[in-house]
Each structure stands twice: as structure tokens, then as C-alpha cells.
């Protein structure tokens, strides 16, 4: 640690009170509890005072030391210049404040307590988990009698909300920023599935499919993890998006897409997409066979045949067969990771032996990260990648109502087919 940073987040600095609203620990305690603390007798009082001190320091440290010192220097110069002309320094009073928790110290204390909860990958929860309490409080504020006097100002497409919710105030903004600086972020992204691993995975699924042929239950056990894998990778889909695949739209275009001069397969996704409202359908065309030899059309065809034997033509592709309800991506995670472990053991060094497959890979992001990485390696431009993932961008969120006839959906896709296939074709 650099010597000058040894007291970072541990002490206040000369001039912090001139750049940030400040009340002492005792005043904040009185504002919240409406009484004096008794930390020697009441353990909760001692804990609250420690949290208040921590919140005050976090608020101070939202600004760097150089900024605080420069601001204090200018204030002292201002005071000297005022004295030269015989006037009092024209600064407002720093207090006293009313005995009310106007700054939101109470909720700041609770957020700090939340930050001490056990984390999934670290000893404590991360900042992004703890900060959710701020949003929850703000939502509750708006639903309460306190929120009835809030004003909305709108100009063109910009909407501004005037609120007296303390968690949107300047002090609280500083507190959250300082807390974030102190805690930092620990990211544990899913490891990307390389194209070599993806090809090995599909080889294993193909072999398992040949063994399972003619046995409905065994076919299903192979089919859906394999289909999930190839659709997620070739479509560059997140784990929560792939289960949105629906059967009717995929089935209705299957025959025609195979006869097209650019053979492809349509993956029909239906659901609530980020940045959009209502139930919307997206038709995602994928190359029948990618440059590396992945075959999404083959697996979609196997899925259609499998459901056809059951007389099923509607509903989610990835479903619980008993209830007909869509399942989550986690339904297939163990089966896929099991295959990755086998690949690690049998396929040379394409998955390093030091990698903990169960910890490093996941269906949430591994396929998408691997897909996007391989697309970049293949020379695709960012615009091509974004175009493939077009529903995640507000300006390209052109989803159609699911009530529109499928022929109309498919006609729209065909107009842009060559551009839409650039991504999956290159994989």
C-alpha cells in the first residue's frame, strides 16, 4: 500500500466538512432514535454509532484528498480576502440542522449492515447487492404518503422527477459513491466456452444422440441440453434468453428456411425483453451450418421431430413436460457441465486441468461470451455483433406483437436475412 493511502477510508481530512454536509455521530443518532445513545449498556447503540461513523467517512471519501485540500485552500483564501476588505466571509452557516434524519443516515446504516451479510463468492456481499436496499426504499417512498407531493417535469422525451426522498439527496449520493469506492467490485464472470470446446461438446452430444435414438426419454435427456448449447452459442444468447425459444414460430418457418438459397433456421423467441414492454416475439435466424461446422438446424429439426411424435406444436421449447411450463437455464446446467468435465479429461488441453469446471463455467454467460469472442476473432465488427443482439438495444427494439401472423414476421426477417446471418455464419 502506498504510504499516503494507509489511512484511506479510516480518517477524515482537514476540509471534509467544507465540501460535504456533516453532522457528528451523536447528532445523527439523536436524529434517528430521538434520544441519547447509551453504548456502554445497549449493544445496538454501540453498533449504530459505529455504522454512523462509517457512513460519515464513506461520504467524505467520495471526494479524493486532492479535491478536498484544494477546496479547503480556496476557502481559506476567500476568508483572507474578505478580511482585507473588512467584511465577514459570505458563507452560509454549516448548522445547526433540525433534529430530523433529513439526509437518510438511517437507511445508510441499514445498507452498511446489509453489506456485512455473507456473500456467495466472497466473505461479504458485494456493493451491487447491498445497494439494492436503496432502490427498495425509494420505491417504498414513492408508494407512501411522503411521495404524493413529488412533481414530474417533462420536456420532449425527457422526464425529470422532483422528489424529497432522502436517498436521492446530495449527501446520500456522496455516501453511496464513497461506499462503492471503499468496497470496490469483485467480478466473477462465467468463463467463455471456446470454439474448440464448443465443437467437442457437440461431438459428444451427437454421439450420445446416436446411442439414445428410438428411446424417447433418453433422446430428451440428450436433446435439450444439446439444443440449449448450440442455440445459445450460435445466437450469442444469454442464459436467460435461450429458454424463451417457442415451438410454434420455430416450427412454422422450418421447412421454408431449409429451401432458401441461404439455408438457415429460425429460432423464435417470445417473452418480455429488457427495454421493451409487453409480450414480444423475435425471430432469430441462424445459419444452418456455421463456418466451424456447428449445426443448429440439425438440432432444431431433431427437436421438432421429437415433439411431433407427441403431437405437440405449441408452447415453450424448453419446458417441464408434466406442466408444460417453461424451465430456467439452470435445468440444463449440470448436464452441460458434466460434458465439459469429460472434455477436460479426454480432449487434451482445450480445458486446462487446473480449471474448476463447475466454478468457472455456467450457462448464464459462458456460451454468449465464447460466441462473441469467437466472432471477434473471426473479424466481425462490433456492429455485426450488436445487430445480432439487437433486442438489447433500445433503438433497435422493434419487436412485434405475438398476435401478428407468423408469415408477416418471417417476411420481415427475409428482407434482412443476409445481414442477420453474418454473425452465426462466421462462428
Domain residue spans of the chain: 3-183, 195-426
DSSP label of 245: B
The β-bridge relationship of strands 151-155 and 158-162 is antiparallel
The pair phi, psi for residue 194, each rounded to 5°, is -70, 165
Q: Measuring CA to CA, how many Å separate 70 from each of 14, 53, 56, 231, 400?
A: 11, 24, 20, 56, 55
C-alpha separations of 110 from 44, 104, 132, 145, 393 in Å: 12, 10, 11, 22, 35
Q: Do 247 and 267 touch, CB atoms closer than 8 A?
A: no
- Positive or negative: CA dihedral 33, 36, 40, 42: negative
Q: How far apart are the first and last CA of the chain?
A: 45
- What is the rounded distance in angstroms from the CA atom of residue 135 to the CA atom of residue 101? 18
Distances (CA, A) of 313 to 249, 317, 406: 9, 10, 14
Per-residue pLDDT of the chain (427 residues; tens, 9 = 90+): 455 667 789 999 999 999 999 999 999 999 999 999 999 999 999 999 999 999 999 999 999 999 999 999 999 999 999 999 999 889 999 989 999 999 999 999 999 999 999 987 788 989 989 999 999 999 999 899 888 877 766 555 556 777 889 999 999 999 999 999 998 877 667 899 999 999 999 999 999 999 999 999 999 999 999 999 999 999 999 888 899 999 988 998 898 888 888 899 999 888 654 444 444 567 889 999 999 999 999 999 999 999 999 999 999 999 988 888 999 999 999 999 999 999 999 987 899 989 899 888 999 899 999 999 999 999 988 777 766 665 444 334 444 444 445 555 566 677 778 878 888 888 8
Planar angle of CA 68, 73, 78, nearest 5 degrees:
125
**Cβ–Cβ under 8 Å, residues 63 and 9:** no
Q: Which pairs from 84-91 meet CB under 8 Å and 24+ separation?
A: none
Answer for the pair 228, 302: CB distance below 8 angstroms, yes or no: no
The CATH code for residues 195-426 is 1.10.443
Tell me 356's DSSP state: -
Amino acid at each position: 500500500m502506498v504510504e499516503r493511502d494507509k489511512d484511506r477510508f479510516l480518517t477524515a481530512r482537514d476540509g471534509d466538512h467544507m465540501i460535504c454536509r456533516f453532522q457528528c455521530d451523536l447528532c445523527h443518532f439523536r436524529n434517528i432514535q430521538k434520544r441519547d445513545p447509551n453504548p456502554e449498556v445497549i449493544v445496538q447503540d454501540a453498533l449504530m454509532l459505529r455504522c454512523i461513523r462509517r457512513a460519515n467517512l464513506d461520504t467524505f471519501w467520495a471526494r479524493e484528498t486532492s479535491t478536498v485540500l484544494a477546496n479547503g485552500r480556496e476557502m481559506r483564501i476567500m476568508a483572507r480576502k474578505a478580511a482585507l476588505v473588512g467584511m465577514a466571509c459570505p458563507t452560509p452557516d454549516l448548522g445547526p440542522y433540525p433534529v430530523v434524519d433529513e439526509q437518510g443516515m438511517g437507511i445508510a446504516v441499514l445498507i452498511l449492515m446489509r453489506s456485512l451479510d455473507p456473500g456467495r463468492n466472497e466473505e461479504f456481499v458485494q456493493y451491487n447487492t447491498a445497494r439494492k436496499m436503496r432502490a427498495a426504499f425509494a420505491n417504498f417512498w414513492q408508494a407512501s404518503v411522503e411521495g404524493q407531493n413529488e412533481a414530474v417535469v417533462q420536456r420532449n422525451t425527457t422526464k425529470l422527477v422532483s422528489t424529497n426522498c432522502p436517498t436521492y439527496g446530495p449527501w446520500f449520493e456522496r455516501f453511496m459513491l464513497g461506499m462503492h469506492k471503499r468496497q470496490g467490485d469483485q467480478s466473477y464472470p462465467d468463463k467463455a466456452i471456446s470454439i474448440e470446446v464448443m465443437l467437442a461438446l457437440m461431438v459428444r452430444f451427437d454421439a450420445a444422440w446416436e446411442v439414445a435414438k428410438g428411446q424417447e426419454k433418453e433422446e430428451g435427456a440428450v436433446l435439450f441440453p444439446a439444443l440449449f448449447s448450440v442455440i445459445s452459442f450460435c445466437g450469442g444468447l444469454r442464459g436467460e434468453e435461450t429458454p424463451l425459444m417457442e415451438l410454434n414460430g420455430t416450427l412454422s418457418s422450418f421447412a421454408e428456411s431449409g429451401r432458401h438459397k441461404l439455408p438457415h433456421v429460425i429460432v423464435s423467441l417470445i417473452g418480455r425483453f429488457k427495454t421493451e414492454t409487453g409480450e414480444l416475439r423475435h425471430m432469430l435466424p441462424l445459419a444452418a451450418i456455421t463456418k466451424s461446422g456447428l449445426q443448429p438446424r440439425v438440432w432444431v429439426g431433431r427437436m421438432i421431430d421429437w415433439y411431433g411424435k407427441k403431437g405437440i406444436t405449441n408452447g415453450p421449447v424448453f419446458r417441464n413436460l408434466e406442466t408444460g411450463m417453461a424451465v430456467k437455464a439452470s435445468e440444463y446446467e449440470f448436464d452441460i457441465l458434466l460434458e465439459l468435465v469429460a472434455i477436460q479429461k479426454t480432449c487434451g488441453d482445450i480445458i486446462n486441468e487446473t480449471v474448476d469446471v463447475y466454478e468457472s463455467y455456467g450457462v448464464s454467460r459462458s456460451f454468449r461470451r465464447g460466441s462473441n469472442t469467437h466472432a471477434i476473432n473471426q473479424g466481425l465488427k462490433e456492429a455485426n455483433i450488436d445487430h445480432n443482439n439487437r433486442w438489447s438495444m433500445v433503438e433497435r427494439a422493434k419487436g412485434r406483437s405475438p398476435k401478428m401472423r407468423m408469415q408477416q414476421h418471417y417476411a420481415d426477417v427475409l428482407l434482412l436475412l443476409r445481414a442477420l446471418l453474418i454473425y452465426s455464419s462466421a462462428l
